[in-house]
Structure 1
């Protein structure tokens, strides 16, 4: 029987899984040819997940204390963030969304600098060039175009750098996403489009966004391979993203990966998630917790000792204490800086807006 054209681009019926929800090796049929990452890589991922989970909780506390303006929690989907960012090289470029703070911490960026943007400051806090990590992007999908541009430029310069573009499921409904994937496909730009499908774009469920069988299926329309992966299985994410990155690095072009995961907490501290999803749904996903899964696997494999567990927990607490201490010490941003660096030569409208704001603030101080 002759396969239909494009069949090789379609994702399998089930997402790639290497470790199941109970921490056991998944059936060989679920691996789809991907091998388990080395032990040291899995232990590094475990460490990043523990630290990331504690950082996430601490950031949530800072919001409630009024120390941060907003914080989009990644609780429940940390394996996607950690696995993806650890699967690429330090020299590759990463283009994160506003929800990927844990990924940035795992990449080695100062956690306090990661939170600077979420304090309401005008800059992203860290040096994008030094970390080869773009500022966290709030508008949906705009960073996907930037990722393609960076990847295309790297190839034109003879470099083997790859761009990793983080996206949410809601971003796949945006025009920028389609333009980015199409351009990358036509020009074989070395990009990995990593979609974290956490089932909701704020309060809008996936079924209200697309009629496609899965988000990974959208890849075939562009001539790009689409792959589904269990986004709560950090081992599978490491393997799938790592393979896609090497494929791109070797001239194979872009890949669209859909990581099936779940946002356990509300969209942000300003969201009431009980209005659009049930407690039963959330509880069912808590049973698939990514940190519990890799912990169970490593323990069963004899790789996780009590000493190591205590060491990593202490490191996580130290990170939380550092964030607790240093975030309140940061100087509040000056309101006038809102208009800095928008244009090299400010427009008349921008000058007018700046003058009006400063006048209003001066009036309030009287």
Structure 2
């Protein structure tokens, strides 16, 4: 069944976070202490990063490092709060998607469309998770590798930590360093895991919404029946499906709109700081974080563009259907197609209040980030 592939990868990551994404399960929070632990790890690590920025406010290099880490922590806290606040609503939205996929996936052509989009979602989500995994593992292992190399060269142990911060103790002591290192790693996991869960969930829902819009087009292209009554019934079903898709899109946009707004604003600042760091040396480890942040924004922009473009294609499907024959059979039904075409030209919009999630917004964010580098370099 097509619905069996729905949120297959996302359910695994939500279970790591302590949530149960499957609506048919009775328990929605299997391990609530996990999300609380990750929230406390990130929230307590944020003041250490802010302290580093304040103590090095005259040093642009250290200040940018602290700013990058602080922005990542803030976005992670926002996403954890997003999950805690809207978790019941998201589960209900997932149930609505699952029911609609189950009802529409009973037919061969429709099931093939759903399977194709879920296969693409699985590839994109897996690639996105791999990018985050490489960035997180490299950030956590690089300090240990650096300590080992310095020890081989000089015979001295110089403690280094994955992320820049100021600790209230001396990390030259082994026990203190171990506590600081585990604290940093737990904060890194607390940043990466909610980010992967929320972003891949958005990717999966938008992919399946796009599949439903394409199914509505397919049904409209083949609405002609053996009789006028059957033709009307097919048209009603196609229009109902398109209307339900619009309602799903509005619900999805309503839940994710604050997150998209915060994500785009913070990502533009984050990319600006990373561009400044990479402008001096492209081989910096920050390149992995640049790719990760750019990947986060790209998912929202490309998925938002796909939803709007596919929803607007419903108007083209009306034009390419056999509407000429309806002019002879039923003029009122043919006139209803005109109104449906006018509505479909607006499409289903995914936005973040002040800007729409599309490819043009992605280009604008990258351009703005690059232009901010000139300002930062003038302060260096």
Which bin holds the TM-score, normalised by the shorter protein?
under 0.3
Task: Decide which structure has the larger Cα Rg and report it.
Answer: 2
| Structure holding more strand per residue | 1
TM-score (ref. length: structure 2): 0.23
**Whose relative contact order is higher, 1 or 2, with alpha carbons under 8 Å and at least 6 apart?**
1
